[in-house]
Each structure stands twice: as C-alpha cells, then as structure tokens.
Amino acid sequence: MTKVLVTGGAGYIGSHACKALAAAGYEPVAFDNLSTGWRDAVQFGPFEEGDLRDAESISEVVRKHSPAAIMHFASLAEVGQSMEDPALYWHTNVLGSLNLLQAAVDHGVPKFIFSSTCATYGDHDRVLLDENTPQRPINAYGASKLAVEQMLANFSGRFGFSYTIFRYFNVAGADASGEIGEFHDPETHLIPLAIDAATGRRPTLTIFGRDYPTPDGTCVRDYVHVSDLVDAHVAGLEYLEAGNPSNVFNLGTGHGFSVQQVVDVVANETGNNTPAKDGPRRAGDCAALVSGSARAGEVLGWSPDRSTLPQMVRDAMRWHAGKGYSG
C-alpha cells in the first residue's frame, strides 16, 4: 500500500485522518510526540514517536518509510495560549514545520497536505471568508500557520513538490463508530466543554465575552464535522496524485453558530440544562469566522454532509459517553 506520513497522527484530527486513509487503501504512518495525542488513538497503521522540533528524528522517519505524501497536522492550536506564549507557537509550529519540509525535500517526498486554519484571516467583521480574503491574523496561532503556508509556497517553487492547504474552521464531532474521538487534557474546545457541563463532568461552562457585534453578543463560528474534514484531506491527496497543481481550500459549511446557540443545542440533545457563567473576552478571539467553501466543492467534489450542529453534538456525545484514552 502507498504510505502516507501523518504528523500529529495520535491527535484528534490526525487519528481520524489515519482511519480515513486506511479506509481509502493507504497505509498511514502516525508520527507524534504524544504531548497532546494519545497512543490508544493510533489504530490504523504504524506508529513512530518523535518531535518535529528534532530535525534528525523526523528526517530519519521520512527516510525509513519513504512516504508518497505527508499530511501535516502536528501543531499547537490554542488561540489564548498563543497570545500568552507566542514564542512557543513560533518554535513549535514554524520550526517544526521547517524541519518537516526540509526532510520532505531531502528524501524526495513529492506531495504535502497541510492543516492550516481560518485564524490566518484575522477579524473581518460580517464577511464570508473565502480563499481570496486577505490574511491578517490577529493572534500568534494564526500567524504561525500563515508562516508555514508561505514556507510551502517558497519550497514548492524551488523544489517542485505539490501541496494542498486546508484552512479549517471549528472542527467538531467524532468518528461515527465511537472508536476514536476528541480528548484533550485539559479540554479547551466548546462542544466537549458544553457536553461535560451538561452531563455533570464539570461544574460549569465559561462563555468568554457577551459584547461582540453578533446577534446575541457571543462569538460566531462555523463548525465542520471531523469526518467530513478528513474526507477532504483524502480527496486533496487524490487531487495531487492526479497531477493537479497546488491549491488552497477552506473547509467549513458557510453557516455560523454563536456560542450561545451551541450551548442551547447541547442542552437540547442531552436533555439537560448547560450551567454557564460569563467571563471576559479572550485576547485574540474574532467576533465571527464563517467559511466560503465553494472551491472545495467545485474542485474536490467535497460536501460537508455530516456537518449539522445536532449531528456533531450527537457524535461527540457518543464518544464522550465512553470518554478517554488510557495512554
């Protein structure tokens, strides 16, 4: 089988990508330092433990497996943390990606799929964001991802490999079978936090800011199901394998939901009130981020069929009912 190196393959999105790749006939090789990923999530191919900040480590793994492509998910991804410790984000996300790109060039990997983010766009009030929207990140997380996008363009122009960049919006849900799911320690994402509050796993949910210029004052985000998201990555790989040129795609639904709307849907799906308290705005948070994802549909034939908010909550609840990895 064709090997694909999946960095961050023990993490939330990376493990779902490994499952989707295996189902499509590839052999995913998960590379992860297990700082936020889980060994139990690696179920669909070989595992290599290592850190992208160690250039020799990633170079040796690429040499050993000679993958036909790399899917790069490994990164730090918390907006608030990136504002508190920007150096950590530049060191991890940018230096780690530079080491990976250099290993790809040194060992002749011809295709690269990169996990980027809508945070590269910054705050464009009430604008539907498409791939041509100016990129003006307002936090170190988005800035670090934009830097990697620019590195990809530079390296590709010089060394001739092809790439796809996916800028996602908020990823949610879990594998329909319940084999793998979203498990962070500590948890930072809204839907699992709201589920935990509604089911008594935590005493309350904090809503950060109620004075944004949105209908109910809380931040608005576009949510995409993790299974739909990784299907796009497999389609992006197949797109490159067909000889198509490098490209950039947004992945979202085109519909935004406020924090309060998410809380209300979780309450409806669980049958429980979701205890919540108000907190201050977090530095680096945009008022609204909603995707224009027509290009992914037109070019890749992608459709976010599972990405309704109730479905994402239900799939997340199924995972959370038996929540956790042991190691």
Q: Check if the beta carbon of residue 97 is closer than 8 Å to that of residue 72.
A: yes
Q: How far apart are CA 157 and CA 223, in angstroms?
A: 33
Q: What is the residue extent of each domain of the chain?
A: 3-171+224-251, 190-221+254-321
Q: Check if the beta carbon of residue 118 is closer than 8 Å to that of residue 291.
A: yes
Q: What local confidence, expressed as pLDDT, does residue 78 receive?
A: 87
The fourth-level CATH superfamily of domain 3-171+224-251 is: NAD(P)-binding Rossmann-like Domain (3.40.50.720)
Active site residues: 141
3-state SS track over the chain: CCEEEEECCCCHHHHHHHHHHHHCCCEEEEEECCCCCCHHHCCCCCEEECCCCCHHHHHHHHHHHCCCEEEECCCCCCHHHHHHCHHHHHHHHHHHHHHHHHHHHHCCCCEEEEEEEHHHCCCCCCCEECCCCCCCCCCHHHHHHHHHHHHHHHHHHHHCCEEEEEEECEEECCCCCCCCCCCCCCCCCHHHHHHHHHCCCCCCEEEECCCCCCCCCCCEEEEEEHHHHHHHHHHHHHHHHCCCCCEEEEECCCCEEEHHHHHHHHHHHHCCCCCEEEECCCCCCCCEEEECCHHHHHHHCCCCCCCCHHHHHHHHHHHHHCCCCCC
pLDDT tens by residue, the chain, 327 residues: 899 999 999 999 999 999 999 999 999 999 999 999 999 999 999 999 999 999 999 999 999 999 999 999 999 988 889 999 999 999 999 999 999 999 999 999 999 999 999 999 988 766 788 999 999 999 999 999 999 999 999 999 999 999 999 999 999 999 998 889 998 778 888 999 999 999 988 999 999 999 999 999 999 999 999 999 999 999 999 999 999 999 999 999 999 999 999 999 999 999 998 899 999 998 878 888 889 899 999 999 999 999 999 999 999 999 888 766 766
Q: What angle do CA 175, 179, 183 make, to 5 degrees?
A: 75
Identify residue 87 by its one-letter amino acid code. A
For tokens 């908010």, the residue is: 309
CA neighbor of 304 nearest in space, from 317, 316, 291: 291
Q: Check if the beta carbon of residue 253 is closer than 8 Å to that of residue 229.
A: no
Letter string b/e over residues 43-80, b meaning 16 or more CB atoms within 10 A of that residue's CB: ebbbbbebbbeebebbbebbeebebbbbbbbbbbbbbe
Q: Check if the beta carbon of residue 254 is closer than 8 Å to that of residue 222.
A: yes
Q: Which CATH architecture has domain 190-221+254-321?
A: Alpha-Beta Complex (3.90)
The answer to whether the 3-171+224-251 and 190-221+254-321 domains have the same CATH topology is no
The whole-angstrom distance between residue 140's C-alpha and the CA centroid of its chain comes to 16
Q: What local confidence, expressed as pLDDT, does residue 323 receive?
A: 66
Q: What local confidence, expressed as pLDDT, does residue 178 receive?
A: 85
The whole-angstrom distance between residue 33's C-alpha and the CA centroid of its chain comes to 17
